[in-house]
Structure 1
Amino acid sequence: MTKPTPIDEEIILDPKRYIVSETDAKGKITYVNDYFCEVSGYSEEELIGQPHSIVRYPDMPKVVFKLLWENLKQGKNINAVVKNLAKDGRYYWIFTEFEIRKNTDNGEIIGYHASRKTISKHVIEIITELYKELLTVEKSDGVDASEKYLNAYLKEKGDDVTFANLMEEIHRFY
């Protein structure tokens, strides 16, 4: 499936509804709710079996997803602000809560559950600037350099601030 060409038009989400999806351990979509289909513009049939990156907006820094996957593979749930790409090229900002799904018999990670909700314009303004800087560094010097930039940014916030902490703080206070 080819990715759509992004256009500069935001989809405004209903603050009373959640976008929900589940993936297998490798990030392939196994479940989507109706609101996910409605917002993304894809049918359930088009989404099931696809990598979740099908809705990844191209100006999202790769380092964000690197950190998400690192946390999830360590068995840690994580929250993140993400800009997604709809089938028609529009975008939508969401606050996503990623949760691990485990095999009840042996505790092995079998997949992930993500529920998403709308976020305030204030959060988008804050995170957009950071993500732009990360993407600029990433394009010129790679993902590792982008991660170093992010770590320096987090260090300025406090010695013990991590990406996960920052996302949690955004979730709590905004």
Structure 2
Amino acid sequence: MKKPNITPIEKEVFLKEEDFIVSKTDLKSRILYGNEIFISISGYSEEEILGKPHNILRHPDMPRCAFKILYDHIQNGKEWFGYVKNLRKDGGYYWVYANISPTFDAQGKHIGYYSVRRKPREGFKHIIEPLYQNLLSIEANSGMEAGVETVNELLNAKNMTFNELMIKIQKGIINEL
């Protein structure tokens, strides 16, 4: 399935405090379920989005290394926390603070992923946007692995895991990198 060619526009849509976006995907990240808020904020109809790869929502402002780190976590049975800028069908965008976890069947076989997203805390953008812009620049010049290396260097300097850093940003404990 080819990703739709959508031109991003500067039109941000905001989640409300009480909004929780929920989706489930299979192991290939094809969308199997999306709650009403997910469908609505994406700008797609349920028929248009179910069965499609989740990267249909990938905004070009998101560094590839962010998804590499995400998939390294969830494909190894660990949950992941982080900030994602998603692209809407109309070209607009919305930010989420996401928690993505692997899902398993009754026999313990890995069968997919479950994601819950909510409104990011105020002030997160002045931390995350410069980081993502820097990672995009590094990726453009030196490739995705250089972006992953940069993130790992940051984590080592902070003596934290990726999830710890994202959770502390969301809680307002860390206000700059």
Distance 2:170 2:124 in 1: 9
Match of 2:166 in 1: 167
Measure how far apart 1:76 and its partner are: 0.4
How many aligned residue pairs are there? 171
Given the alignment, which residue of 95, 98, 101 partners 2:97? 95
Q: Which amino acid aligns with 1:4?
A: I
How high is the TM-score relative to the length of structure 2?
0.92
Q: Which runs of 4+ in 1 moved over 4 A?
A: none
Once residues 67 and 75 of structure 2 are traced to their aligned partners in structure 1, the CA distance between those partners, rounded to angstroms, is 12
2:16 alignment partner in structure 1? 14
Q: Name the CA distance, whole Å, in 2 between partners of 1:3 and 1:165.
A: 35
Give 5+ residue unaligned stretches, structure 1: none
When normalised by structure 1's length, the TM-score is: 0.93
Aligned residue for 2:61, secondary structure, equals coil
Matched, 1:40 2:42: yes
**Do 2:121 and 2:171's aligned partners in 1 also have CA atoms closer than 8 Å?**
no
Residue-by-residue CA offset, 1:112-136 (whole Å, 9 max, x unaligned): 1101101123112211111110110
Structure 2 residue runs of 5 or longer lacking an equivalent are none
- Match runs of 1:82-121 below 5 Å: 82-105=84-107, 107-121=108-122
Cα contact 2:124–2:170 (8 A) shared by 1: no
* RMSD, matched Cα: 1.3
Percent identity over paired residues: 40
For the 8 Å contact 1:93–1:124, the answer to whether it is kept is no
Separation (CA, whole Å) in 1 of partners of 2:125 and 2:109 = 35
